Amino acid sequence: IIKIGNLTRNKERFVKRRQRLIGPNGSTLKAIELLTECYVLVQGNTVSAVGSHKGLKQVRRIVEDCMNNVHPVYNIKILMIKRELSRDDELKSENWDRFLPKFKKKNQKQKKTARKEKKPYTPFPPLPPQSKVDKQLESGEYFLSERGKSKRSVHEKKEAAAQKSARKRQERAKDYIPPPAEKYALRNQDDLFQPPVVLSTDDSFVLHSQLFPTLESQASEEGVRSTRYGGYEEQHSKESEGEGEKFILVQRRKRLPNPKEQSKEKVNQPNRVSVRISREASKC
């Protein structure tokens, strides 16, 4: 009879370790019985075993290790290896330590608690926290009437709303602040995918003819490029710089409406009076 009641003080821990000795559906206890060739019964605070002297020693060791937080599976594995080695005639008389598994105990690292800095010592105890009535007395709200309190709360809410609306107005105005404009030019047609060269930061115009090569371009003179986009017309002069070339903005002006184009648009637009007469004629 092996006493296990006094091996662990905590009742919950004792119950868990005793159940660990039995195993799921009694499988661990059955394995111990087969390997030690002993009958083992776990009941209450004791474990009773019946068998040979050698088997009883093995059962006692397994039970005590289990109650000291060593899982019985480890001891069962060692017993199985010893049983196989005892059947081998060559290894029967040798030392079996090199065949037995060595299980290392894993200690989990405890989390380091942050050191609290000691506050300066004061002989006087800290003041108790102010209650709601104390705060009202300090601010003078305690002596106000119900009407005065409601007026004060409305005034505070209006102030908070005004501050919030001003903050939102400032955030919305950020989208309309123009970014610092820069003027770019490209050296060559091969440099379209290279970073552009900054010419000046005073003018807010960007060379659209260089940044967007799909725009209409016409060569009016040799070394001069005329570009039209939208309602503007620009002229760029060609300058050679070593092996590369670049265009610099010379003139930019508003594009005047072409009278021929306007006449074409007027011809294409149908006259309302003629449309009305044609509709009435079709009805007749």
Q: Quote the domain boundaries for residue 47.
A: 2-87
What is the per-residue burial (b if ≥16 Cβ within 10 Å, else e) of 83-102? eeeeeeeeeeeeeeeeeeee
Query: What are 94-134's pLDDT values in tens digits?
Result: 888 888 888 777 777 777 888 888 888 888 888 889 999 99
Given a cut of 70, the residues of the chain with pLDDT beneath it are 179-284
Q: What is the pLDDT of residue 210?
A: 43
For residue 82, is it within any domain? Answer: yes
* Boundary (domain end) residue, out of 72, 87, 102: 87
For residue 97, is it within any domain? Answer: no
For residue 99, is it within any domain? Answer: no
For residue 93, is it within any domain? Answer: no
* Boundary (domain end) residue, out of 64, 87, 110: 87
Q: What is the pLDDT of residue 165?
A: 93
Q: What is the pLDDT of residue 229?
A: 59
Tell me the sheet residues that pair with 39. Answer: 50
For residue 74, give the CATH number of its domain.
Answer: 3.30.1370.10
Q: What is the pLDDT of residue 17?
A: 93
Q: What is the pLDDT of residue 207?
A: 41
Q: Name the nearest CA neighbour of 86 among 121, 37, 120, 38.
A: 37
Q: What is the pLDDT of residue 195?
A: 43
Q: What is the pLDDT of residue 188?
A: 46
Q: What is the pLDDT of residue 225?
A: 65
Q: What is the pLDDT of residue 125?
A: 84
What is the count of structural domains for the chain? Answer: 2
For residue 200, is it within any domain? Answer: yes
Burial category of 238 from C-beta neighbours within 10 Å (exposed 0-12, middle 13-18, buried 19 and up) = middle
For residue 268, is it within any domain? Answer: no
For residue 74, is it within any domain? Answer: yes
Strand segments, DSSP code E, in 28-121 are 39-43, 46-50
pTM, rounded to two decimals? 0.39
* Boundary (domain end) residue, out of 87, 109, 126: 87
For residue 154, is it within any domain? Answer: no
Query: What are 262-280's pLDDT values in tens digits?
Result: 555 554 554 444 445 455 5
